[in-house]
Amino acid sequence: MSADMQKLIGANEEDDEEEIEMDVKEEDKEDHENGQKHIAAQMMLGADGVMPSTSHQFQIQQQLQEQVSTPGGVARRSRPLEEKERTKLRERHRRAITARILAGLRKHGNYNLRVRADINDVIAALAREAGWVVLPDGTTFPSRSQGSRPAGDSSAGLTSSSSQMLSQQAPPTSLQGVSSGYCASVEYNACHMKGVFMPTPAPYDLSSSGHSQSSGMVGNGGEQTESLPLIAGSMEVINDKQIIGLLPKLPERDFAGTPYVPVYVMLPLGVVNMKCELVDPDGLLKLLRVLKSINVDGVMIDCWWGIVEAHAPQEYNWNGYRRLFQMVHELKLKLQVVMSFHECGGNVGDDVCIPLPHWVAEIGRSNPDIFFTDREGRRNTECLSWGIDKERVLRGRTAVEVYFDFMRSFRVEFNEFFEDGIISMVEVGLGPCGELRYPSCPVKHGWRYPGIGEFQCYDQYMLKSLRKAAEMRGHRFWARGPDNAGSYSSHPHETGFFCDEGDYDGYYGRFFLNWYSQLLINHGDLVLSLAKLAFEGSCIAAKLPGIHWWYKTSSHAAELTAGFYNPCNRDGYIAIAAMLHKHGAALNFACAELQFLERREDLQEALANPQGLVWQVLNAAWEACITVVSENAFVCHDRVGYSKILENVKPVNDPDGRHFSSFTYLRLTPLLMERQNFMEFERFVKRMHGEAVLYL
């Protein structure tokens, strides 16, 4: 990239010199024109303001011409050579600064700026990245996603297919189209090329799409009073008509002919309520039909332990899920199901509260050591401690027996959906948020990004395991957690354990971290072995988090507290990949757009390296020959974000042609169903499927 930038800069140095010379010549030309005007004025008027005679005008003209031709004349100011050189230096310095800014944005920010971009292009790109709408004439206002829109905007409906877009590809020069009425606002992105979309009378109303298409465009001479979404181009008003100039298309990788990658959509968290009843089945059916209309492959749904087995051990209620699965089956969609053995409501993006089963909470009140515990004795009720995986403390059953009974009940209840191939994958929850990790960063206990988190090993069952490991090593005094590892929001250099050359790399540190991480692997190994037994013949998967902050430090502190023994001198993901391979389980890694975050300032301050983490985990997975699936970690509705996801799901430079096996979009929300957002999503699905798309 740097070599290319040098070529671009070098290729244009001569052009810059010519432009600087032109700037100086233009200033001299202006001075000359001012002098000519002064001559004309003196010719027209005499000294007393009276029009002179013809002979007198000739004398004045002759004198002024002599004055102009004289070096000391004042009518035409001759610019000194030194002043011209100073002007060139100032212009050269300004252009050099602009070139460095543009080079940095292209290299590190993935901004698509033209070679001869100026400061206006830079400001516009940054404003669009921040979520603002910037029109070609410079008009700027907040996008709809920021809760503000220009007057005259109306709520957007939903179109069922991209046929409601102008089927013309934008040529290199701007196209002119005419529409009437005020142009409403939706989010505009630098890489979006939008056509004219037809409004629909109501969201999700597919039956009226044909009518909307005929009435939403101007072409029959009739009056158009409905507001239209924003069209990415310049707008001028002539006789109450908008003249719309579409911008030329931006370079974009063509995914036509690439491997077919199925796309699933995660359903809302609260689609099934605490009584295991399907919430708003009619509305959900409409949404599923909309997803089916754009060839989405299926949906993903959480099956919550706290809902199904809420009131008593081994009393399962699957009613709401059965009705949902039947709807999905009738629409010929696929299902990805998550066995969610954690609570919902304490993490980012949780909009509902689903606790663990009531009978488990009752046990926890009398025996709080069934939950993860930090050094201060604070309990985390998000999921059960791995210390009780083999302890019969849940009314005569161990934790893994409880998980197995739940999974076996699900398999029996929905046997026909497995037999018909409707359920394509079962993701097994292995910890908080369903991820294989310790709950080391709980916001409710004071963690704030980019804190390193705390070790979660202080319940009596995990301490018992630690004492046993220390005794086997011959060092009983090692049966303790680190006392210099800081607190939840500490930074590595503030602690004696995680700092450079800290205790994490000493004899005790290596012993403790090896035991701590091995307990995580053992938990995943045990639960997945039972899942493989319960779902024999079906694809199972485990989810790993992307803990990328402090990755550029030697200790990788945030990963260590989460259970990943991955300092700079050790690969902590190889053993996890080997464990997944042992059970034929797929890896779900929420990394599809992590590399896109490299330029964020907060990640730089946290010494984060999302790209390094992504490739380390993927290499470990592919070396172990396990299937990789993915989902987005952050909300995405724009073309730039979708393109980045596509680049990661289908790597263009992979020598073995490897790619992800499926992608799950998080999640189905009203914002996704807004017209422009949904049209971008439909386009994204087509590219995931390897279909050709129009570059509008």
CA 469, 473, 474, 477 dihedral sign is negative
Map residue 179 onto helix, strand or coil. strand
Amino acid letter, residue 203 = P
Q: Is the pLDDT of residue 661 over 70?
A: yes
Strands 132-134, 586-589: pairing kind: unpaired
Neighbours of 530 (CB within 10 A): 18
Comparing 45 with 402, the larger pLDDT belongs to: 402
Model pLDDT for residues 5-56, shown as the tens digit of each residue: 444 444 444 455 555 555 555 555 555 555 554 444 444 444 444 444 444 4
Partnered with residue 264 across adjacent β-strands are 298, 664
- 63-65-70 Cα angle (round to 5): 95
Model pLDDT for residues 51-84, shown as the tens digit of each residue: 444 444 545 455 544 444 444 444 445 557 777 7
Comparing 244 with 461, the larger pLDDT belongs to: 461
Six-digit token string for 350:
């949780």
Q: Is the pLDDT of residue 324 over 60?
A: yes
Neighbours of 580 (CB within 10 A): 25
Most confident of 335-349, 549-563, 610-624: 549-563
Verify whether residue 315 is a known catalytic residue: no
CB of 133 closer than 8 Å to CB of 177: no
Model pLDDT for residues 202-226, shown as the tens digit of each residue: 333 333 333 333 333 333 333 333 3
Query: Residue 257: its pLDDT value, please?
Result: 93
* Residue 634: closest CA among 601, 676, 588, 591: 591
Can you tell me the distance from the alpha carbon of 651 to that of 222, in angstroms, rounded to the nearest whole number? 49
Query: Residue 252: its pLDDT value, please?
Result: 79
Q: What is the mean pLDDT of residues 153-171?
A: 37
Model pLDDT for residues 574-586, shown as the tens digit of each residue: 999 999 999 999 9
Q: At what angle do helices 13-44 and 81-109 cross, to 10 degrees?
A: 140
* Residues ≥6 apart with Cβ < 8 Å to 468: none
* Residue 375: closest CA among 270, 486, 298: 486
Helices (H), 389-484: 399-413, 415-419, 460-473
Can you tell me the distance from the alpha carbon of 566 to that of 549, in angstroms, rounded to the nearest whole number? 13
Place of tokens 């018992």: 464
CA 203, 206, 207, 213 dihedral sign is positive
HEC assignment per residue over 99-121: HHHHHHHHHHHCCCCCCCCCHHH
Query: Residue 31: its pLDDT value, please?
Result: 52
Verify whether residue 631 is a known catalytic residue: yes
Question: Which of 187, 343, 382, 435 is labelled catalytic?
Answer: 435
Model pLDDT for residues 83-135, shown as the tens digit of each residue: 777 787 778 777 777 777 777 776 666 566 665 677 777 787 787 777 677 76
Query: Residue 600: its pLDDT value, please?
Result: 64
Q: Is the pLDDT of residue 482 over 90?
A: yes
Q: Report pTM.
A: 0.66
CB of 316 closer than 8 Å to CB of 413: yes
Neighbours of 568 (CB within 10 A): 12
CB of 433 closer than 8 Å to CB of 480: no
- In the chain, the largest separation of any two C-alpha atoms, in whole Å, equals 124
Comparing 603 with 610, the larger pLDDT belongs to: 610
CA 189, 190, 191, 194 dihedral sign is positive
Q: Is the pLDDT of residue 325 over 70?
A: yes
Most confident of 23-37, 162-176, 595-609: 595-609
Can you tell me the distance from the alpha carbon of 447 to that of 440, in angstroms, rounded to the nearest whole number? 9
Model pLDDT for residues 605-655, shown as the tens digit of each residue: 899 998 899 999 999 999 999 999 999 988 899 998 899 899 989 988 888
Query: Residue 388: its pLDDT value, please?
Result: 98
Question: Which of 427, 559, 593, 631 is labelled catalytic?
Answer: 631
- The chain-wide mean pLDDT, for the chain, equals 78
Strands 263-266, 298-304: pairing kind: parallel
Can you tell me the distance from the alpha carbon of 524 to that of 200, in angstroms, rounded to the nearest whole number? 49
Q: What is the mean pLDDT of residues 373-395?
A: 97
Question: For the sheet containing 233-238, what is the strand order?
Answer: 175-180, 241-246, 233-238
Can you tell me the distance from the alpha carbon of 448 to that of 442, in angstroms, rounded to the nearest whole number? 9
Map residue 558 onto helix, strand or coil. helix
CB of 482 closer than 8 Å to CB of 516: no
Amino acid letter, residue 18 = E
Half-sphere exposure of 161 (CA within 13 A, CB side): 11
Map residue 602 onto helix, strand or coil. helix
* Residues ≥6 apart with Cβ < 8 Å to 186: 143, 144, 156, 229, 230, 674, 675, 676, 677
CB of 688 closer than 8 Å to CB of 649: yes
Can you tell me the distance from the alpha carbon of 522 to that of 459, in angstroms, rounded to the nearest whole number? 18
Query: Residue 230: its pLDDT value, please?
Result: 32
Q: Is the peptide bond before 450 cis (omega within 30 degrees of 0)?
A: yes
Confidence of residue 596 (pLDDT cuts 50, 70, 90): low
Neighbours of 573 (CB within 10 A): 23
